[in-house]
Amino acid sequence: MSQSYNRGLIEDFSRWREFSAGMWAWIFHKFTGWVLVGYLFTHIAVLSTALSGAAAYTNTIQALESLLVVRILEVGLLAVAVFHILNGLRLLFVDLGVGLEAQDKSFYASLILTGVIVVASVPTFLSGVSI
Amino acid sequence: MSTQVPESVEEESTTETASAGKQKRDAKKRERAERVQEQREAEAAEKARSADDTFHLKVFRYDPEVPEKQEPRFDDFHVPYKQGMTVLDALMWARDHYDSSLTFRHSCRQAICGSDALFVNGSQRLGCKTQLSDLSEPIRVEPLPHADVVKDLVVDMEHFYDQMESVEPYFQTNSLPDGELDEQRQTRENREKVKMSTRCIWCSACMSSCNIAAGDNEYLGPAAINKAYRFAMDEREGEDMKQRRLEILEQEHGVWRCQTQFSCTEVCPKDIPLTEHIQELKREAIKNNLKFW
């Protein structure tokens, strides 16, 4: 319906400011899902380049881990994965019909919990890296 | 302020053949009409200025039949506030005092006819159920998103009604009571179960808010699924009928399209837990197809 008809001002992109919790949860879930799919393929591709022996594998990993940008990306990956897991649990409860009236609160809870876990992980991920 | 277009464009061609005297009279009539309109607007603006409190409304205007209104735009209306004034009241005031061509649907003004669902300040609400004092100014009033606009705030509801009809939204059963005069009784518990779902007023707010329905025209939509829930959960319909209803619902564009964004539940003016009902039907559909015995 909306595609076939130009409504001018009415369906512009600024509408995201009016989204509610459930919609944000859906968008973040989709986004993190695609990021995880992308990571999975990159992960397999990169490790496949280092299959010639134990030394090659260690070299590749050490080279990657010495880069600051890789460490920062790892923090990002953790954030994405943790949110996807927590929101996945939330969706599981939604599918079971448990606590649907608290669905917005559980979304905020999963956001906050993700934040806490990510912040707590930063020292571990960034230890021993030279800039 | 006014969107009333002087009717010169059409008339010029017809008056060519008319007598000079008629032309003159028409011109005079038009002039008078314009004067009256201007005066009315001036009075309205004066009234708005002198009121203690006015509300600023930005109202979506569009009319494919009038060349000047073919490009959608927003008109500003300043409406004097009265205690308890709703968005619908304000629109009616604007229509009566500023511009009689402002078009919107309304009927009962008490949130039961379901004809004045509007997009107010970024969410689907009933105009008659939304207090001006709850909104921040300027109040943007638009027609429901994801539906064709017919004129101003009026959208084409045909698709929504088609979806509602497709789930057979009426009671049907083939297990009638024995005696001819026996009533078809429903248990209190069962009535309680379907209670919320019976409150639907067919306003289409949920359908308009649904992201999935916007992208998939075949999706039944929250209102239709809720309607189906109301009858599928009604024990008086019997097992055969429930089977039939679930067959409609578990199709590709039925309950499985719902991605639990909760937009419909959020906007429903009658507070129907739509997502909950859709989820329950999903579970019913699975139970119906997974049988290990």
Q: Which pair of tokens denotes residue B112?
A: 């039961």
Pair B272, B166 in one domain: yes
Of the candidates A17, A23, A97, which has its C-beta nearest B283's C-beta? A97
CA distance A119 to chain B (A): 28
pLDDT for position A106 = 93
Judge: B122–A5 Cβ closer than 8 Å, yes or no: no
Chain B CB contacts of A17 below 8 Å: 122
Which runs of E-coded beta strand occur in B115-166?
117-120, 123-126, 139-142, 149-151, 154-155
Chain B CB contacts of A102 below 8 Å: none
- Note down the domain range covering B50: 35-154
Judge: B263–A1 Cβ closer than 8 Å, yes or no: no
pTM above 0.90, yes or no: no
Q: Which phi and psi angles does B126 have, rounded to 5°?
A: -85, 130
For B259, name the nearest residue in chain A, comparing CA atoms only.
A26
Pair B150, B163 in one domain: no
- pLDDT (tens digit per residue) in A50-63: 888 899 999 999 99
Q: Does B216 touch chain A (CB under 8 A)?
A: no
CA distance B37 to chain A (A): 28
The tally of CA atoms less than 13 A away on the side-chain side of residue B86 is 15
Judge: B122–A26 Cβ closer than 8 Å, yes or no: no
Bridge partners (DSSP) listed for residue B74: B60
- pLDDT (tens digit per residue) in B1-20: 445 544 444 444 444 555 77
Topology of the domain comprising A20-126: 3 helical TM bundles of succinate and fumarate reductases (1.20.1300)
For B262, name the nearest residue in chain A, comparing CA atoms only.
A22
Judge: B259–A5 Cβ closer than 8 Å, yes or no: no
Residue-range domain boundaries for chain A: 20-126
In the predicted structure, residue A75 carries a pLDDT above the cut 90: yes
For B144, name the nearest residue in chain A, comparing CA atoms only.
A10
CA distance B243 to chain A (A): 21
Query: Would residue B18 count as lying in a domain?
Result: no
Query: Would residue B23 count as lying in a domain?
Result: no
Of the candidates A1, A7, A22, which has its C-beta nearest B260's C-beta? A22
Chain A interface, best mutation among B73, B118, B146, by max A CB count within 10 A: B146
Q: Which phi and psi angles does B249 have, rounded to 5°?
A: -75, -35
Chain A CB contacts of B275 below 8 Å: 22, 94, 100, 103
Of the candidates A1, A9, A21, which has its C-beta nearest B146's C-beta? A1
Chain centroid to Cα B41, Å, comes to 29
Query: Would residue B253 count as lying in a domain?
Result: yes
pLDDT for position B12 = 47
Pair B162, B150 in one domain: no
Nearest to B149 by CA among B62, B58, B73: B62
Q: Which CATH number is B237's domain given?
A: 1.10.1060.10
pLDDT for position A1 = 38
Q: Does B262 touch chain A (CB under 8 A)?
A: yes
pLDDT for position B13 = 47
Judge: A103–B262 Cβ closer than 8 Å, yes or no: yes
Confidence band for A28, pLDDT divided at 50, 70 and 90: very high
Count the Cβ atoms, other than its own, within 10 Å of residue B131: 12
- pLDDT (tens digit per residue) in B91-141: 999 999 999 999 999 999 999 999 999 999 989 999 999 999 999 888 999
**Residues ≥6 apart with Cβ < 8 Å to B256:** B250, B282, B285
Query: Would residue B166 count as lying in a domain?
Result: yes
Query: Would residue B138 count as lying in a domain?
Result: yes
ipTM exceeds 0.85, yes or no: no
Distances (CA, A) of A76 to A115, B212, B223, B290: 11, 29, 39, 40
The total domain count for chain B is 2
Mean pLDDT for A97-101 is: 86
Distances (CA, A) of B142 to A81, B150, B152, B192, B264: 39, 12, 8, 36, 18
Pair B205, B89 in one domain: no
Query: Would residue B56 count as lying in a domain?
Result: yes
Residue in the structure block whose two tokens are 């917005």: A104
Count the Cβ atoms, other than its own, within 10 Å of residue B178: 5
Query: Would residue B71 count as lying in a domain?
Result: yes
pLDDT for position B195 = 95
Pair B40, B129 in one domain: yes
Pair B267, B147 in one domain: no
pLDDT for position B50 = 67
Chain centroid to Cα B51, Å, comes to 31
Chain B CB contacts of A15 below 8 Å: 122
Pair B169, B280 in one domain: yes
Nearest to B131 by CA among B98, B89, B95: B89
Task: Give every residue of chain B whose pLDDT is below 50, as ranges.
Answer: 1-2, 5-15
CA A80/CA A25 separation, integer angstroms: 13
Pair B172, B275 in one domain: yes
Query: Would residue B20 count as lying in a domain?
Result: no
pLDDT for position A2 = 39
Q: Which pair of tokens denotes residue A26?
A: 């859906």
